[in-house]
Chains A and B, each alone.
Chain A
């Protein structure tokens, strides 16, 4: 007995030494680059390795109903994607453009007949794993990685119900997700010359050098309204040198500017193009990720904020506090994150600017 116990202890110690040796080896890395990097612990791999592949490798256990998905959707997703996933305001629509027939064939007919003005997510995505992976890793827009696996199942179930891929009383889970048939599951191809440098290109040009096109026809020109749609092109070019920008705030000039450069703007007139003031703050401090001048994004538009607080006493102080500490419930359930990084001065400038409608 005694001997056996001793042997057990010895074996145990030997096993421990082996484990330690392996661990040490892993810590120090291979012989090639000793001392660089260390082994990833199982907990670390679990924390980061969240991707879900088309064969559902990596999918966590869980489930969620269409009904629960609708509740989460309306609270956290609808402001960007529309109540029925139809939004084309901020992001392209999620649902629409697919039919019962597409579900049978696995090919979305409207991708060929061009009857849909826009391609929706459900018209494109061939594998349901893609929806699960992306929603879990990156949504909602302003609070990525805040959804649980069950929330994610529920949201995927709701999106699938919008496309009539599953019934309204469906409960999606890790057990049944492999049975979901997406409308465009057969619509993707990797048979093209772009995947690998060794593959053959599908298009090639001509090396003709002389008399290649007897009649040169202009098929498309910049529409007149687009000439200054990118503001004054003169200010987007160097104001010296042989090539200047055209002043697109004015009609095109009739004659050549001439050697003196008369009629062109000059280097000394160059002003700093970097925007300053509250509108630059608004952009640089990332307010524009959630607020637009005239339209509702994740948060209310500047115009709507100005309207709501018009003539209210103490509006500046109230909004300054709100920008500082964040808040929720005034414009919907998506919380406004605290913007503690702003100085009081910048915060006041932003709030005053917003209250005047961003002018």
Chain B
């Protein structure tokens, strides 16, 4: 135990050491020299005349105990802040390191860039709204909700226009789903490129979204579901983001959403309206949603014909690769982190599948040679993040940590080698490989690929 500093502290004055009369007098007449003297006298008498008690050095011999216990702390001994000092609340100043960050050099223009969620510091399954990852194609705006409109047209009996007032009167649902960019972990297709889980997996968030089911809206407009197999979702930003939605697979669980974790969407996540397409890559969750067009063929828009396509070894481009396959990652400990000491640790991570529910997560500490099954924390929801935990006692020797998730379709998360054998190394999108973290004997964890 380190010897605590022999520091001087101000001790709070005892309460009620001045009379009610003096308080009233000061309130009425202000604090002048005379009243200041009264105040000082009252203060001294309350302290029993021990003037040295104003500044009281705490001398503590080494070994007596922890100064965090033995010494009074500022937060116990002074008046705290008023309610609503921060009317919309912000995290503790001691949490200011955990913020969304850009990966330097990834893009040249911030208006068409990515800010990653700090997964290394999150708990449970819900992403705080201020940390939900951002990805814009032409910058974000604070859209005026009074001027926002949603148009539904195409193969529908009644092309209609809805205001936010209209939409928020409709029957709503609230469901928790993950959203993952198709390019999440894309930097690692070829080899290890970035240091931490924030940059390898941080284009991932999970929130409770509230809105009207897409099906309700389309039925209201008399959509022709026999001929209308597809839908174009269009955003109201400068890029006019457009994505084809496959109605056959997405109609039943897609939500036209205005809220996220109990508050309205944040502007950088599409305020006031976005599409929520559970299980499907984030680019299809069109932000600032302003138009839905039902049609009979895919649109081949820019972000489905030039980007968000996978280059296969045959030279073919896979188009409309929408579903985010079963995937998991250990978040604590993870790359760039440092362990304090040998001994017991709770090792924790996240698992998710765009096809359904997580049924099992296995964890290996020896590079995938032997595996143990982790505890899944509830709730385990479909197309949502599931938290897993596993006990581990670290003996101080080097280790390689991995997690491997299984979903209720029986799909097992593959190794990077298995993925590359089929898809090559130039895909960019849909890398759901098992992540490996190497722990050195000095406690430092780094990003590696095995095999």
Binding stretch for chain B, among A63-71, A236-244, A321-329, A348-356 = A236-244
- Least CB distance from A232 to B in Å reads 10
Among A201, A226, A286, the one with the most B-chain Cβ atoms within 10 Å of its Cβ is A201
Residues of B within 8 A of A288 (CB): 109-111
Complex CA distance for A198 and B162, rounded to whole angstroms: 33
Find out whether the CB atom of B246 lies under 8 angstroms from the CB atom of A196.
yes
Find out whether the CB atom of A144 lies under 8 angstroms from the CB atom of B240.
yes
Say yes or no for A211: interface residue by CB 8 A criterion.
yes
Say yes or no for A357: interface residue by CB 8 A criterion.
no
Find out whether the CB atom of B121 lies under 8 angstroms from the CB atom of A237.
yes
Find out whether the CB atom of B159 lies under 8 angstroms from the CB atom of A195.
no
Say yes or no for A221: interface residue by CB 8 A criterion.
yes
Binding stretch for chain A, among B15-23, B30-38, B41-49, B365-373 = B365-373
Interface residues on A, range: 35 or more
Among A26, A53, A127, A235, the one with the most B-chain Cβ atoms within 10 Å of its Cβ is A53
Find out whether the CB atom of A197 lies under 8 angstroms from the CB atom of B169.
no
**With A39-B159, A210-B371, A255-B442: A30-B336 Cβ-Cβ less than 8 Å:** no
Find out whether the CB atom of A289 lies under 8 angstroms from the CB atom of B338.
no
Complex CA distance for A222 and B188, rounded to whole angstroms: 10
Residues of A within 8 A of B406 (CB): 207
Find out whether the CB atom of A51 lies under 8 angstroms from the CB atom of B337.
no
Interface residues of B in 367-390 (CB under 8 A from A): 367-371
Find out whether the CB atom of A45 lies under 8 angstroms from the CB atom of B159.
yes
Find out whether the CB atom of A130 lies under 8 angstroms from the CB atom of B442.
no
Complex CA distance for A203 and B120, rounded to whole angstroms: 28
Residues of B within 8 A of A222 (CB): 192-195, 335, 446-448
Say yes or no for A189: interface residue by CB 8 A criterion.
yes
Say yes or no for A4: interface residue by CB 8 A criterion.
no
Chain A, interface SS category: loop
**With A37-B161, A197-B323, A212-B371: A192-B318 Cβ-Cβ less than 8 Å:** yes
Number of interface residues of B (CB under 8 A): 132
Residues of B within 8 A of A207 (CB): 406, 412
Find out whether the CB atom of B96 lies under 8 angstroms from the CB atom of A30.
no
Complex CA distance for A121 and B305, rounded to whole angstroms: 9
Find out whether the CB atom of B220 lies under 8 angstroms from the CB atom of A233.
no
Residues of A within 8 A of B248 (CB): 196
Name the contact of A189 in the complex, choosing from B138, B313, B316, B370 (C-beta under 8 A): B316
28 A-B residue pairs with Cβ-Cβ distance under 8 Å, sorted by A, are A30-B158, A40-B160, A49-B151, A90-B109, A130-B301, A134-B306, A138-B137, A144-B239, A145-B240, A203-B325, A203-B418, A209-B371, A219-B449, A222-B195, A222-B447, A226-B193, A227-B195, A230-B196, A242-B339, A245-B97, A256-B340, A258-B341, A259-B341, A261-B340, A264-B340, A267-B94, A270-B94, A295-B108
Closest CB pairs A-B (n = 4): A112-B315, A216-B367, A205-B412, A194-B321
Q: Could you list which residues of chain A lie within 8 angstroms of chain B, going by C-beta atoms?
A: 26, 29-30, 32-33, 36-40, 44-45, 48-51, 53-55, 89-90, 107-109, 111-112, 114, 119, 121, 124-127, 129-130, 133-134, 137-138, 141, 144-145, 184, 187-190, 192-198, 201-214, 216-223, 226-227, 229-231, 233, 235-240, 242-246, 248, 252-261, 264, 267, 270-274, 283, 286, 288-289, 292, 295, 297
